Structure 1
């Protein structure tokens, strides 16, 4: 008999709940390990029991390494989302007149306008976060432009390959037609130079039959 359908609700019996937790936890750990090995991905798994005990699995050297990577990823996603919502190139609010200058000059002029010498620790920390966000968004935009350029280049290469194939097919067809025309002209010249060549063929065959 097959297993019955499990109802998705809290198991009231404490012993049954603990047995189910132990079995399911082991199965989940096994699946996480298989996923990490088979697909060569980083997997982090954390489970807190009802008593507060921690069970964890990490495919990396430590689960903290994966959590740090996750934190950075989330911060970048938030920064990009905020930038898209505000419709600005930089959330830190660079003045428009600075956008036409180079990166180093732009940052230098921005810092001069901020007058960092008079800022306290909290303000400097906030400024540091703003500059870090600018750097992240700049890298993201640069990567986006590079990917768009790479995609355009790949499409151009595909178009060139298609054009090359088409030209080669047309040239092959032209050579085939030329060979056919040359063969036809050669055959016509042979007939013109010896119009009675075919007339002697049956006679020669008959003479050869008489000889043998």
Structure 2
């Protein structure tokens, strides 16, 4: 017995839509689990129902760690190539002139921030947190890139 082809359009009946959502969500999570086990992959899925209720599946310890790992590697590609291009264009006066100039901008600001921290509102604190987080991610991605380059060079030397 074959199943018929399903038309891809919104299911009008609310009860049928909920049943279909539950079954398909379970099937999706089952396939994600199979992918993780068979291919030793780290898989994370986040699904929100029509009512806004979140459902998640993660093959590792937490979905947040998986998302952070994804963001780190996707940002690393862009950040590393950007910093390499900028470093080549600026010459070789400093080891990393763009980071040096960014640190010079942040340093006085962060020193004055210690005294003005109580005056900042939630939005300003969130902006500060995001800027520091972005800077931290750039540092981590550059460090990862340098370590990977070193490992590759050592592996090339062994062969």
TM range (shorter): 0.5 to 0.7
CA distance, structure 1, for counterparts of residue 139 and residue 62 of structure 2:
30
Please state how far the C-alpha of 1:96 moved relative to its aligned partner.
2.4
Q: Provide the C-alpha distance between the structure 2 equivalents of 1:116 and 1:54, rounded to a whole number of angstroms.
A: 38
TM-score, with length taken from structure 2: 0.64
Q: RMSD in angstroms over aligned alpha carbons?
A: 3.8
Match of 2:110 among 93, 111, 121: 121
SS of match in other structure, 1:78 = helix
The SS at the match of 1:37 is: helix
Higher Rg: 1
Normalised by the length of structure 1, the TM-score is 0.50
Residue 3 of structure 2 aligns to a residue whose secondary structure is coil
Distance between the aligned counterparts of 1:83 and 1:49, measured in 2? 41
Correspondence 1:171-186 to 2 at 5 A: none
| Bigger RCO of structures 1 and 2 (CA < 8 A, at least 6 apart) | 2
Contact 2:72 2:141 survives alignment (8 Å): no
Aligned-partner Cα distance in 2 for 1:46–1:67? 10
Q: CA deviation at 1:2?
A: 1.5
Cα deviation code 1:33-75 (max 9, x no counterpart):
2222222221111110000111111111222221221222222
In structure 2, stretches of 5+ residues that fail to align are: 114-127
